[in-house]
């Protein structure tokens, strides 16, 4: 089933989480998989999405190794064994 992994720099904002966090759910779309993950870990919603439900500017979402290109469109269909990776865009210093 589809799996969603939050990279360590995002997952570390969960208490007691050490390293990246992977959630597996039988979701059909990217939005459904994210919502399922946020249901388990509501803290993470605000780290990944802004108040309008758009992926934050400095957060990147890859589906099977390919970055999504429209951060406001999360309705893309996932393959049965899709691998979704949510990471921070590299920034700062």
Partner 1 sequence: MAGSLLVSTRKGLFVMTPDGRIERAAFLGEPVNLTGIDPRDGAWYAALDLGHFGTKLHRSDDRGESWAELAVPAYPEGATISAGDGKATQPATLRGIWSLAYGGADQPGRVWAGTVPGGLFRSDDRGESWQLVEGLWDEPSRANWFGGGTDAPSIHSIVVDPRDSKRVFVAVSCGGVWETVDDGATWTVRCSGMSAAYMPPERRDDPTIQDPHHLVSCPAAPDVMWVQHHNGIFVSTDAARSWREVKAEPSSFGFGVVVHPRDPMRAWFVPAIKDERRIPVDGALVVTHTRDGGESFEIQREGLPQTHAYDLVYRHALAIDESGDRLAFGSTTGNVWVTADGGARWQAVSHHLPPVYAVTYA
Q: Could you list the residues that contact partner 1 (CB under 8 A)?
A: 5, 7-9, 12, 55, 57, 60-62, 64-65, 67-71, 83, 85, 87-93
Nearer CB in complex with partner 1: 67/77: 67
CA gap 30, 84 in Å, rounded = 8
Query: Closest separation between CB of residue 58 and partner 1, Å?
Result: 8
The residue whose two tokens read 């990776």 is 85
What residues have CB less than 8 Å from 27, skipping those under 6 apart?
1, 2, 33, 35, 36, 78
**Minimum CB–partner distance for residue 17 and partner 1 (Å):** 13
Q: Evaluate whether 82 touches 5 at the Cβ level (below 8 Å).
A: no
Q: Smallest gap, in angstroms, from Cβ of residue 48 to partner 1? A: 12
Nearest approach, Cβ of residue 67 and partner 1 (Å): 4
Q: Which residues contact 73 (CB under 8 A, 6 or more apart)?
A: none
Closer Cβ to partner 1, 42 or 92, answer by number: 92
């Amino acid at each position: 089933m589809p799996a969603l992994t939050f990279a360590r720099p995002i997952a570390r904002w969960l208490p007691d989480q050490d390293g990246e966090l992977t959630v597996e759910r039988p979701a059909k779309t990217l939005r459904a998989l994210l919502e399922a993950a946020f249901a388990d870990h509501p803290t993470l919603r605000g780290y990944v999405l802004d108040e309008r439900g758009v992926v934050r500017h400095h957060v990147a979402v890859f589906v099977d190794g390919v970055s999504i290109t429209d951060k406001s469109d999360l309705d893309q269909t996932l393959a049965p064994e899709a691998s979704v990776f949510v990471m921070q865009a590299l920034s700062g210093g």
